[in-house]
A and B are shown apart, each in its own frame.
Chain A
Amino acid sequence: QSVLTQPPSASGTPGERVTISCSGRTSNIGNNYVYWYQLLPGAAPKLLIYRNNQRPSGVPDRFSGSKSGTSGSLAISGLRSEDEGDYYCAALEDSLTAYVFGSGTKVTVL
């Protein structure tokens, strides 16, 4: 069972905006940054968001992150078919001194 809770699925039509939540506790998201990763079929995982809302170079500005209290969220605007895949949040867990991932959300483009 993951320490960080995400909805198992999210979907939208091309061009729509989809938001994925990541719920944690004070000991993880509350005290630390949130990160987001994208896993597409047949591809290496990709860092989408670091330090709550920062995008690495090369990541389109369609992807945005935010954090409030013990929850983080990832928004994908202008949804495209190539965005279909799995998305994971992550954060440092103070009680374990370990990096923990969320349960993952499968995004489907209808």
Chain B
Amino acid sequence: QVQLQESGPGLVKPSETLSLTCTVSGGSISTYYWHWVRQAPGKGLEWIGYVYYTGGTNYNPSLKSRVTVSLATSKNQFSLKLTSVTTADTAVYYCARSDTDMVWAFDIWGQGTMVNVSS
């Protein structure tokens, strides 16, 4: 059974870069889309972007200038980098998977990791 687990610092200072990793266990990172989604406190879900197993990416236009999602295939991991963070980036960050023929059906999710942006 495939499982996803987010990891990374729980506290990031304003203007710095938020870096998170999602480790895929129980299956291969190949032939799927790998997404990041976040939920700010008291707010709804927001899709951040995805990386395809070939390395192709697609980002939410509202975050595109600050986001990079990339693969570390040999480690069966993918990562999120968000630059120049502000307090508005404080959120629970989830990683998720979707299949090649159902790009927008996120069928497996991680438990989420809380990231606070604060000095």
Contacts and interface: CB of A to CB of B under 8 A. Distances in A.
Nearest to A95: B61
Interface string B105-116: 111011110000
A88 to B, nearest CB: 5
Contact of B61 (A45, A96, A101): A96
A30 interface: no
B47 A100 contact: yes
A110 interface: no
A33 B58 CA distance: 19
A59 to B, nearest CB: 11
Contacts of A99: 47, 60, 104
Interface residues of A, number: 26
Nearest to B64: A98
Interface string A74-107: 0000000000000010111000111111111000
A47 B47 CA distance: 15
B13 to A, nearest CB: 28
Nearest to A99: B47
Contact of B45 (A37, A43, A91, A98): A37
A47 B104 contact: no
B112 A44 contact: yes
A58 B87 CA distance: 38
Nearest to B105: A50
Given A33-B104, A99-B104, A2 B44 contact: yes
A46 interface: yes
Contact of A56 (B45, B58, B107): B107
Given A44-B110, A97-B61, A103 B44 contact: yes
A90 B47 CA distance: 10
A41 B15 CA distance: 31
**Which of A39, A90, A92, A98 neighbours the largest number of chain B CB atoms within 10 Å of its CB?**
A98
Contact of A47 (B58, B61, B106): B106
A51 B60 CA distance: 21
A70 to B, nearest CB: 17
